[in-house]
Amino acid sequence: MTACLGYGALSADAELAPIRFERRALRADDVSIRIAYCGICHSDLHQVRNDWRNTAYPCIPGHEIVGHVAAVGRNVTQFKPGDVVAVGCLVDSCQVCESCADREEQHCLKGATFTYNAKDRQTGELTYGGYSDHVVVRDRFVLRVPPSLDLRHVAPLLCAGITTWSPLRRWGVGKGTHVAVVGLGGLGHMAVKLAAALGAEVTMITTSPAKAADARALGAQHVLLSTDAAAMKSAGSRFDFILDTIPSSHDVNPHLALLGRRGVLVLVGAIEPLAPVHGGQLIRNNRALAGSAIGGIAETQEMLDFCGEHGILPNCEMIAMRDVNEAYRRLLANDVKYRFVIDMSTLAAADSGSVGG
Ligand code: NAP
Ligand code: ZN
């Protein structure tokens, strides 16, 4: 076991605070990573606050991790100390089921092991995420960071990047596709950048008029205010593909009405019940409503390599570890442009009177 310093919550209504805990000793196929930066996903906030009623405490979140290899287990041949690497939402899976064979480890039939708030497959111990000084991960779940990318900005690709890349690719978004992205936050801003880089014509659908200029700078050709009923009506049946990143329950019917013939609306944001869907909205134009969960490991590497080739990076606001609670308040208040990233070199300075985990 190795001593680890992290930052997490002891209950749903507690602020995040320093926590001392232990990581497992390296198994033969493990990689130990010294964490340099970790992004803050809205899922971290949902999990810490127990919004999904499944949080085990202490909860140490963080699944947008980049850093350097510190040590490797005796059977690891692909990585060596000093390598620049990344870890996303997954740290293990069974590797033999149909989903794993199809390289969709997130849908492992035996249950994927998520980076935090999951159980280690061998010991059953709770997993802890990237708001910490180091992490121990099975080698197959470690990604390589293209050297052309500035490491300070890479972390959000590991969740916001792959979660938007995967559905864009699965539904064949490219030149000639009319795409709309709903919600300009962490996921939404990556969706705009990636869809634009794939050659699509992109429209940003937002509740925030003040974000229009940013949406255009990120690569959107058009901006649609979802609160403008007349504009929404005139955009009816216009899009081939809509990616909906709204983080809470909402009515998807107004967005379904924007889909043209055989158009697809893919939900990635609201992991909870939705307002009732009107059957007529689906039947008209042969529309489909689908969902998508992160992406597999090979697909995540493909996305990182694409970003390396095209120079695509998230827009990050770097924060110190001790400012994470304020960052959560701002995330809830829709005040982030467009992803908070924690500089993990500030973790030790935030450690005053840490508790055991
Ligand atoms: P975020 O940074 O908070 O962005 C969400 C955006 O949605 C906001 O910036 C806002 O954009 C819009 N929005 C917020 N509340 C809204 C409301 N009540 N009605 C309409 N629009 C609203 O969040 P994120 O990190 O991108 O995450 C988004 C969601 O995806 C979270 O629920 C997260 O848990 C989930 N998620 C899912 C997966 C997956 O695998 N499917 C992976 C990661 C995250 P505007 O100001 O432009 O309206
Ligand atoms: Zn996430």
Taking only the tens place, the pLDDT of each residue in 243-268 is 999 999 999 999 999 999 999 999 99
> How many CB atoms sit inside 10 A of residue 57's CB?
17
Asked if the model's pLDDT at residue 354 lies above 80, the reply is no
CA-based nearest residue to 251, from 179, 182, 198, 166: 182
Nearest C-alpha to atom 36 of ligand 1 is from which residue?
269
Q: Which of 232, 334, 335, 337 to mutate to test the pocket of ligand 1 (most atoms within 8 A of CB)?
A: 334
The H or E element that residue 60 is part of is none
Pairing type for strands 222-225 and 2-8 reads unpaired
In whole angstroms, what is the distance from residue 194 CA to residue 179 CA?
11
Q: Do 294 and 106 meet the contact criterion of CB atoms below 8 Å apart?
A: yes
Query: What mean pLDDT is predicted for residues 76-93?
Result: 98
Work out the mean pLDDT of the chain and round it to a whole number. 97
Question: What band does 270 get if pLDDT is binned at 50, 70 and 90?
Answer: very high
**pLDDT single digits (tens) 147-161:** 999 999 999 999 999
- Beta bridge mates, 350: none
In whole angstroms, what is the distance from residue 2 CA to residue 118 CA?
19
Q: What is the CA(234)–ligand 2 centre distance, in A?
A: 33
Instruction: Evaluate: CB of 202 within 6 angstroms of ligand 1.
Output: no
- Beta bridge mates, 68: 34, 84
Threshold 0.95, pTM exceeds: yes
- pLDDT for position 197: 98
Asked if the model's pLDDT at residue 67 lies above 90, the reply is yes
- pLDDT for position 351: 87
Q: What is the CA(162)–ligand 2 centre distance, in A?
A: 9
Q: Which ligand is nearest to the CA of 314?
A: 1
Q: What is the CA(185)–ligand 1 centre distance, in A?
A: 6
Question: What band does 352 get if pLDDT is binned at 50, 70 and 90?
Answer: confident
Q: Do 224 and 205 meet the contact criterion of CB atoms below 8 Å apart?
A: yes
Asked if the model's pLDDT at residue 356 lies above 90, the reply is no
Instruction: Evaluate: CB of 59 within 6 angstroms of ligand 1.
Output: no
Query: What mean pLDDT is predicted for residues 309-316?
Result: 98
Nearest C-alpha to atom 19 of ligand 1 is from which residue?
246
Q: Do 159 and 89 meet the contact criterion of CB atoms below 8 Å apart?
A: yes
The CA-atom distances, in angstroms, between 352 and each of 19, 20, 133 are: 10, 11, 15
Instruction: Evaluate: CB of 46 within 6 angstroms of ligand 1.
Output: yes
